[in-house]
Amino acid sequence: MFYEIRTYRLKNGAIPEYLRVVEETGISIQKKHLGTLVGYYASEIGPINEIVHIWAFKSLDDRAERRARLMADADWQAFLPKIRDLIEVAENKIMKPAAFSPVHG
């Protein structure tokens, strides 16, 4: 199992709007294509204005195929402008858990 950890730093004050549009529209489109959502978080303490979401994939090929389907979805393309200008910095990590990790797939 591989975990994709996506971290977005948003503009000041943009978290409520970002979460609203993701909840109303974006998350259902993502779940349709990406599959297993591990968690979706907004920062409270530490770096401010951050969103972190984590997705699980069987393999890197599985991730690539699922992300390609998401990007090809017309509904996703129509949704992207709603969040694009709220995001200042995006970071993406792919993590593979150690054998002894409580969540390792």
Task: Output the CA torsion sign for 6, 7, 10, 12.
Answer: positive
12 occurs within a structural domain: yes
The domain tally of the chain equals 1
Sheet of strand 50-57, all strands in order from the earlier edge strand to the far edge: 36-42, 50-57, 2-10, 87-95
> Which tens digits make up the pLDDT trace of 37-94?
999 999 999 888 999 999 999 999 999 999 999 999 999 999 999 999 999 999 999 9
35 occurs within a structural domain: yes
11 occurs within a structural domain: yes
Tell me if 7 sits within 8 A of 95, measured CB to CB. Answer: no
Q: What is the pLDDT of residue 101?
A: 85
103 occurs within a structural domain: no
Question: In terms of residue numbers, what domain contains 44?
Answer: 2-95
31 occurs within a structural domain: yes
> Which tens digits make up the pLDDT trace of 20-53?
999 999 999 999 999 899 999 999 998 889 999 9
Q: What is the pLDDT of residue 56?
A: 96
CATH number for the domain spanning 70: value is 3.30.70.100
The mean pLDDT of the chain is 94
- Token output for 26: 């974006």
Residue type for position 69: R
Q: What is the pLDDT of residue 86?
A: 97
